[in-house]
Amino acid sequence: MIKCNKDDCYWQDSSRNCECAYCIRNQAEKSDDHKKNEADNYISVLDKVRELYEALTEGELPEGVNCELPKLSETRAFELIWFLQEVTCCLPSHIEQCDTCKELYDSEQGGFCLDDEYEVDGETLPKKYWGHYCEACAPCVDFRLK
């Protein structure tokens, strides 16, 4: 029997095999002995959210998808993604948008979310540095976690 790995899955406490899309598509992601590669059709969570983001900002849908989506700005598209992450819990919350370059990144793999929990020279990090940054755009200050 396949048990769901997602905390809020409908099937988690069920005696049935999990049938949610999260488990069906991501069983390989949770398995240590399964190699993640394109031959296995592995698609990372970041790539899935990027596909949604591009569909919302560029209006281009994957082949075989036939629906109309509004073309949104990068900011509005990520607001929708944030809503799906934080309000509905449909998407994992570790995908962030860099405040500088607007690229999406996986905060479990890198990047920074800087706020008042960081300090520079013993003082709280100035608010002008607060925000989400990918590895390439992080501010050039010597910040440390308090």
| Domain boundaries of the chain, sorted by first residue | 1-37, 44-93, 104-145
The answer to whether residue 68 scores a pLDDT higher than 80 is: yes
The backbone torsions φ and ψ at residue 37, rounded to the nearest 5 degrees and listed phi first, read: -155, 165
Q: Which pLDDT does position 108 carry in this prediction?
A: 92
- Indicate yes or no: pTM above 0.75: no
**Pick from 35-39, 86-90, 101-105: least confident:** 35-39
Residue 132 tokens, joined = 């989400």
Q: One-letter amino acid identity for 114?
A: L
Mean of pLDDT values over 69-78? 91
Distance CA 19, CA 104 (A): 28
Distance CA 102, CA 50 (A): 12
Distance CA 71, CA 7 (A): 32
Mean of pLDDT values over 15-30? 52
Alpha helices by DSSP H, listed for 17-143, are 21-30, 45-58, 74-86
